């Protein structure tokens, strides 16, 4: 089926109804939703206002006061049921992700699988919220740490992973005893409505099975930046997890710090890979191709810089150019498509500005042109761009959320490592090498300065078992992984005296008559 033959409004309506979203939620509102697949309008969502947002937060706070008293394994049961609803709705929700974001079918389904995986992870975690018993210097005393829920967790998510990022935060926050309020991107409200509907199904099953879950436990607010500001500034929201650009983080971080609230910031990434002389070039080609071109370059972890050793440059780069020229671009709903559209025209314009800047710095650009304009004039498909650069300068040092890969030569490993770390962002990184010294050096204290460092796989993509996040202008936040749950809780240190004397710490004497 060609792009011109699609009827996305009809299909979107059917998916939303199947997932349990009332038609009034996605029809007749003021917020227009357009599919990047063909540019058609697929919904009109009613927007919240500041007063409604404050009311949603207040309801979530009341829900928290009750939910924190529910034993953690019972809270885990709710998340388990939600995971079951996601399994049942995976095909429909994954398809909706493809319609609203433009991801190819396997990536839309993969995003829902991430949600299922984090639910499984959180269910196990609900019986493992461990504290420590601590050695004390005082006889007949016991010292320990305990962990308690924080309150309302605000979640601000970006368009590129419209539902998975919410689930990473919400699943952990809920088993820890918190309530959540979600402000999704205004570009992707439909998948948020569908996810909320699935969660409400889980809530109903939880209640039918004898569980107690208060109203307002998982709030949703739809609209623009002003609603995000209400969430960030609200005194009943002790933690905000915000995913987006570094510019967004610069606005959110200081406002949270100003009221001593916590932040989990997942911001920009200008991710790089080093291709060493010993690299397996067949493996490297596949790793680079997905990392740089997957999701049309619209992943936080997309590969954007590639440092290739002189000895393998002429063997690898022509193969990359061939792959870039032959990769299948088209409707993400069609089998065999690898590259779907950019999210909108603004993303296309930013890509073209970056390519123009690269040319002005001496770069040689292969690809980057608009594609399928005749078939879908209101959508923005592009051929991924491979840009050979004489040096790391200009646009190479910035993140452009589009499929642009800057390629540079290097001759010395330490030189490549220094260039790798020389940008302000620090999310994900990788090295392709069969030299154990290079691999270990890359992972060592003097190696990659990113939150994610890989060997012989690309920087793009993550599993929920490992902590996700980065350093420097990426914000320092972490989601998922072994101890990410601690970010959603507060720690208390407790000392119990079970004796009859009262020795003071550090040998202090304070005797009174």
Q: Can you tell me whether residue 497 is helix, strand or coil? A: strand
In order along its 513 residues, the chain shows pLDDT tens digits of 678 789 999 999 999 999 999 999 999 999 999 999 999 999 999 999 999 999 999 999 999 999 999 999 999 999 999 999 999 999 999 999 999 999 999 999 999 999 999 999 999 999 999 999 999 999 999 999 999 999 999 999 999 999 999 999 999 999 999 999 999 999 999 999 999 999 999 999 999 999 999 999 999 999 999 999 999 999 999 999 999 999 999 999 999 999 999 999 999 999 999 999 999 999 999 999 999 999 999 999 999 999 999 999 999 999 999 999 999 999 999 999 999 999 999 999 999 999 999 999 999 999 999 999 999 999 999 999 999 999 999 999 999 999 999 999 999 999 999 999 999 999 999 999 999 999 999 999 999 999 999 999 999 988 999 999 999 999 999 999 999 999 999 999 999 999 999 999 999 999 998
Q: Can you tell me whether residue 29 is helix, strand or coil? A: coil
CA distances from 360 to 317, 365, 393, 394, 409 (A): 21, 11, 11, 9, 19
- Antiparallel, parallel or unpaired: β 141-149 and 133-134: antiparallel
DSSP label of 506? G
Give the angle 205-207-210 at the CA atoms, nearest 5°.
110
CA distance 212 to 314: 64
484: nearest Cα among 169, 244, 194: 169
**What per-residue confidence (pLDDT) applies to 2?**
76
- Class of the CATH domain delimited by 3-266+483-493: alpha beta
What is the DSSP annotation of 262-293? EEEEE----EEEEE-TT--HHHHHHHHHHHHH
- Antiparallel, parallel or unpaired: β 303-309 and 271-275: parallel
Residues serving a catalytic function are: 266
Cβ atoms within 10 Å of 424's Cβ, excluding its own: 13
Tell me the Cα Rg of the chain.
25
| CB neighbour class for 273 (10 Å; exposed up to 12, middle 13-18, buried from 19) | buried
Sequence ranges of the chain with CATH classification 3.40.605.10: 3-266+483-493
**What per-residue confidence (pLDDT) applies to 235?**
98
410: nearest Cα among 269, 272, 268: 272
| CB neighbour class for 229 (10 Å; exposed up to 12, middle 13-18, buried from 19) | middle
Paired residues of 144 in beta bridges: 133, 494
CA distance 452 to 436: 18
CA distance 109 to 111: 5
Sequence ranges of the chain with CATH classification 3.40.309.10: 271-463
Q: Which helix (H) or strand (E) holds 306?
A: strand 303-309
Query: Which residues lie below 8 Å from residue 90, measured CB to CB, with a gap of 6+?
Result: 109, 112, 113, 116
Buried/exposed 168-180: b ≥16 CB within 10 Å, e otherwise: bbbbbbbbbbbbb
Buried/exposed 19-37: b ≥16 CB within 10 Å, e otherwise: bbbeeebbeebebebbbbb
Q: Which helix (H) or strand (E) holds 493?
A: strand 489-497
- Class of the CATH domain delimited by 271-463: alpha beta
CA distance 470 to 266: 7
- Antiparallel, parallel or unpaired: β 385-388 and 364-366: antiparallel
Q: Which helix (H) or strand (E) holds 438?
A: helix 436-443
């Amino acid at each position: 089926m060609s792009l011109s033959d699609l009827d996305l409004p009809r299909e979107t309506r059917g998916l939303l109804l199947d997932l349990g979203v009332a038609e009034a939620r996605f029809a007749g509102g003021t917020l227009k939703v357009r599919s990047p697949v063909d540019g058609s309008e697929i919904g009109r969502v009613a927007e919240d206002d500041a007063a409604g947002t404050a009311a949603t937060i207040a309801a979530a706070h009341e829900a928290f006061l009750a939910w924190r008293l529910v034993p953690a394994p019972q809270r885990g049961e709710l998340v388990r049921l939600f995971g079951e609803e996601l399994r049942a709705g995976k095909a429909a929700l994954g398809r909706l992700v493809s319609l609203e974001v433009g991801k190819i079918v396997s990536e839309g389904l993969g995003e829902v699988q991430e949600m299922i995986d984090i639910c499984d992870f959180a269910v196990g975690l609900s019986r493992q919220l461990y504290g420590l018993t601590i050695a004390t210097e005082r006889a007949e005393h016991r010292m320990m740490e305990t962990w308690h829920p924080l309150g309302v967790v605000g979640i601000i998510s970006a368009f590129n992973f419209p539902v998975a990022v919410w689930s990473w935060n919400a699943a952990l926050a809920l088993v820890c005893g918190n309530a959540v309020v979600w402000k999704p991107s205004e570009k992707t409200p439909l998948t948020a409505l569908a996810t909320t509907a699935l969660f409400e199904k889980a809530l109903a099953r939880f209640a039918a099975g004898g569980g107690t879950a208060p109203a307002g436990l998982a709030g949703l607010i739809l609209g623009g930046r002003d609603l995000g500001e209400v969430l960030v500034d609200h005194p009943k929201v002790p933690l905000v997890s915000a995913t987006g650009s570094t510019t967004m983080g610069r606005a959110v971080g200081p406002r949270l710090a100003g009221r001593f609230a916590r932040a989990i910031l997942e911001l920009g990434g200008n991710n790089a890979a080093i291709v060493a002389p010993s690299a397996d070039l067949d493996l490297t080609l596949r790793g680079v191709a997905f990392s740089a071109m997957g999701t049309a370059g619209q992943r936080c972890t997309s590969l954007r810089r590639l440092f290739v050793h002189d000895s393998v440059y002429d063997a690898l780069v022509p193969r990359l150019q061939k792959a870039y020229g032959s990769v299948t671009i088209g409707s993400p709903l069609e089998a065999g498509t690898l590259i779907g559209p950019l999210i909108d025209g603004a993303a296309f314009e930013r890509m073209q500005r970056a390519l123009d800047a690269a040319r002005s710095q001496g770069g040689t650009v292969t690809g980057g042109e608009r594609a399928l304009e005749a078939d879908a004039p209101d959508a923005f498909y592009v051929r991924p761009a491979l840009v050979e650069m004489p040096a790391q300068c200009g646009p190479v040092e910035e993140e452009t959320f589009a499929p642009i890969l800057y390629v540079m030569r290097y001759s010395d490993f330490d030189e490549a490592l220094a260039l790798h770390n020389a940008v302000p962002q620090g999310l994900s990184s990788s090295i392709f090498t069969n030299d154990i010294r290079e691999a270990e050096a890359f992972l060592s204290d003097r190696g990659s300065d990113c939150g994610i460092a890989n060997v012989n796989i690309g920087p793009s993509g993550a599993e929920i078992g490992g902590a996700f996040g980065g350093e420097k202008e990426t914000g320092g936040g972490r989601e998922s992984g072994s101890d990410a749950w601690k970010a959603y809780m507060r720690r208390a240190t407790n000392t119990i005296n079970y004796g009859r004397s009262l020795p003071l710490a550090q040998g202090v004497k304070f005797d009174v008559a």
